């Protein structure tokens, strides 16, 4: 393991007030996003969409790393350049999703375990050779009556830690993503309790598996009220609850925390990240960044709709969201940013 390189890559991933772009939807998830917009659910359409993203002008001004999916990292842009190379040429670090998805956890109705450890060492070697320098693994924790169980939290935390250790052995920075889902009627307080318990358990397991904290990135959910909870707290209340939880559970040695967006609207995701950086930047030991998929991509996807002629407008929408989130890292995002950028239709639409 080259510790120095791992630490350096992790640091770069959250440097300069930039963040990560998740474009690693599995084929079923990508198809699910395409279907309501009438975009063909084909290898070709997925390739064209990913080319639209990576060829967005000036993307590297706001994005340090892009997470690819296995299908995409093997594909080329129209001019024959491998996606990982095209990304690196844009000054962006290529990353790769390496879990194989969340499956039902035996004996635990309503709960999931993320799979993908079998054969992972060899897959990581191949991805490194293809140019990837970081990886992602997402664990999914649902909140509901009697869940999450300890069995679910511990099984997922152990898998995350074993994945992270294998990544570091292979020279890849692990992005450790335990996602407490927003779906449900639960309160913000309940999300805070569950998130804190999950993060504590994850860091115990990371320690047990000898993961170098300086050479990883944490990708958590924000602490939010459930999407069906009647009480929806303000942006500042969400920022306070999220940072309080992280300060209690995330060791200071971790260089960066990069949130997932989890189905929040684009504007709320930016506003909440902004509020955290406005209110707490001087008190936080780690960089507080973003690793959004939907909250960066969704407006662009809705404009593109599979039409070549829509590519420039879609790229404009994509870079707009990337800029909003970079501003949020600096604590300089404000709602007026959504109005002042011209020729970006549908900015008030929420992410699916
Ligand atoms: P969202 O930002 O759409 O939640 O996706 C982030 C991600 O990478 C999920 O694994």
Contact 53, 317 (CB under 8 A): no
Residue-wise pLDDT for 296-335, tens only, equals 999 999 999 999 999 999 999 999 999 999 999 999 999 9
Residue-wise pLDDT for 244-275, tens only, equals 999 999 999 999 999 999 999 999 999 999 99
pTM of this structure: 0.96
Contact 206, 218 (CB under 8 A): no
Q: For residue 223, how far is its CA from the centre of ligand 1 (angstroms)? A: 15
Kindly indicate the confidence band of residue 341, based on its pLDDT and cuts at 50, 70 and 90.
low
Ligand 1 contacts CB of residue 260 (under 6 A): yes
Contact 118, 103 (CB under 8 A): no
Contact 55, 77 (CB under 8 A): yes
**pLDDT surpasses 60 at 352:** no
Task: Looking at the CA of residue 261, tell me the nearest atom of ligand 1.
Answer: 2
First vs last C-alpha separation in the chain: 40
DSSP 8-state secondary structure symbol assigned to residue 100: -
Task: Looking at the CA of residue 297, tell me the nearest atom of ligand 1.
Answer: 3
Nearest CA to ligand 1 atom 9: 260
Q: Is 219 a catalytic residue?
A: yes
Ligand 1 contacts CB of residue 95 (under 6 A): no
């Amino acid at each position: 393991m080259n510790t120095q390189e791992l630490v350096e890559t992790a640091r770069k991933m959250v440097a300069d007030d930039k963040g990560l772009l998740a474009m690693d939807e599995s084929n079923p998830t990508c198809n699910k996003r395409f279907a309501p917009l009438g975009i063909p659910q084909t290898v070709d359409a997925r390739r064209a969409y990913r080319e639209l993203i990576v060829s967005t002008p000036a993307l590297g001004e706001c994005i340090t790393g892009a997470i690819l999916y296995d299908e995409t990292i093997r594909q080329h842009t129209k001019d024959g350049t491998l996606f990982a190379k095209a990304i690196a040429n844009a000054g962006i670090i290529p990353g790769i999703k390496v879990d194989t998805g969340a499956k039902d956890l035996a004996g635990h109705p309503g709960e999931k375990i993320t799979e993908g450890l079998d054969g992972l060492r060899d897959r990581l070697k191949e991805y490194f050779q293809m140019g990837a320098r970081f990886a992602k693994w997402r664990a999914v924790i649902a909140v509901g009556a009697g869940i999450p169980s300890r069995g679910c939290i511990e099984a997922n935390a152990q898998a995350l830690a074993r994945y992270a250790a294998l990544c570091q052995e292979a020279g890849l920075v692990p992005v450790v993503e335990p996602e407490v889902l927003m779906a449900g009627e639960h309160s913000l307080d309940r999300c805070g309790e569950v998130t804190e318990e999950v993060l504590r358990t994850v860091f115990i397991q990371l320690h047990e598996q000898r993961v170098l904290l300086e050479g990883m990135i944490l990708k958590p959910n924000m602490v939010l009220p459930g999407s069906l909870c009647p009480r929806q707290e303000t942006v500042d209340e969400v920022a306070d609850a999220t940072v309080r939880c992280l300060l209690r559970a995330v060791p200071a040695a971790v260089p960066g925390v990069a949130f997932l967006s989890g189905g929040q609207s684009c504007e709320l995701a930016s506003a909440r990240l902004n509020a955290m950086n406005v209110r707490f930047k001087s008190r936080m030991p780690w960089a507080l960044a973003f690793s959004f998929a939907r909250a960066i991509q969704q407006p662009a996807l809705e404009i593109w709709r599979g039409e070549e002629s829509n590519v420039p407008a879609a790229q404009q929408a994509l870079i707009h969201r990337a800029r909003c989130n970079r501003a949020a890292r600096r604590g300089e995002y404000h709602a007026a940013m959504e109005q002042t950028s011209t020729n970006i239709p549908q900015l008030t639409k929420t992410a699916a």
